[in-house]
Amino acid sequence: GAVVSQHPSRVICKSGTSVKIECRSLDFQATTMFWYRQFPKQSLMLMATSNEGSKATYEQGVEKDKFLINHASLTLSTLTVTSAHPEDSSFYICSARALPQTSGGTPLPTQYFGPGTRLTVL
Amino acid sequence: GNSVTQMEGPVTLSEEAFLTINCTYTATGYPSLFWYVQYPGEGLQLLLKATKADDKGSNKGFEATYRKETTSFHLEKGSVQVSDSAVYFCALSENDYKLSFGAGTTVTVRA
């Protein structure tokens, strides 16, 4: 099945530094990727939607200057947490939406999720 | 707005026991409903879905029926295995695009 990877899986950084998280679709092209944030024992909260070659669309309450998203190719999106602070510590998860099958094949589910990145800001 | 409420965990049960995880939703329109599963160290995977009222989604022995009258989509499995140990997320989408998730329920199955 389709695979989405995230790197790094875990990162610890000092307050004030910037952290970049990569999300890659390994065996399919993704026109759209999504970034979620999950606090302990809480829901995944959608942060933003990124479309290849265009600016990301951020959900209400998410600071776009704080969470920079780049979707430079059909297989890679990056989330950069700028000037990270302890309150940014969280579990960040990406998902990728596959292009629809044009002929043959099995219809794909809507989104494929990465395994997540645990960010801890000291 | 849209929201999903699912049963709090953790849930611990023995192999071959019956599993049910309750999920209810609030939506302004007619959403599609999903159950996702996250095995340890892996990303979320779609387990099953239903796109309209009275639809039943099923996969790997799990079932869930879209109940519009009770705004519910409870997940059930008649006989669980150790390999079913995972975190289960109920979710909805009104346009098959943005997903709204429940908090997740951790299930542990003991041999």
How do residues B37-74 score in pLDDT, each as one tens digit?
988 878 788 999 999 999 999 999 999 999 999 999 99
Residue A98 touches partner B, C-beta closer than 8 Å: no
pLDDT at B43: 79
A14 touches chain B (CB under 8 A): no
Contact status of B45 with chain A (Cβ, < 8 Å): yes
In this prediction, residue A118 carries a pLDDT of 94
Q: Which helix (H) or strand (E) holds A40?
A: none
- Per-residue CA distances from A97 to A51, A111, A113, B22 (Å): 10, 5, 9, 27
Closest-CA residue of B relative to A37 is: B101
Do A95 and B44 make contact, defined as CB atoms within 8 angstroms? yes
pLDDT in tens, B18-29: 999 999 999 988
On the CB side of B84, CA atoms within 13 Å amount to 28
Give the pLDDT of residue A33. 93
**Residue from the list B43, B93, B101 with its beta carbon closest to the beta carbon of A4:** B43
Query: Are residues A43 and B97, on separate chains, in Cβ contact within 8 Å?
Result: no
Residues 6+ apart with CB under 8 A from A19: A11, A13, A80, A81, A84, A119
Segments of chain A scoring below 50 in pLDDT: 103, 108
* Mutant choice from B6, B101, B106 vs A, greatest count of A C-beta within 10 A: B101
Using the structure block, give the residue that is written with the tokens 């700028």: A82
Is B83's pLDDT higher than 90? Answer: yes
Yes or no, beta carbons of A46 and B99 under 8 Å apart: yes
pLDDT of B104 above 70: yes
Any B CB within 8 A of A111 CB: yes
The partner residue sitting opposite B41, judged by closest CB among A1, A4, A115, is A115
pLDDT at A24: 95
Cα angle for residues A83, A92, A38 (degrees, 5° grid): 110
Q: Do B98 and A49 touch (CB under 8 A)?
A: yes
Q: Judged by CB atoms within 8 Å, which residues 33-52 of A form the interface with B?
A: 34, 36, 41-46, 49
Pairwise CB contact (< 8 Å): A43 & B43: no
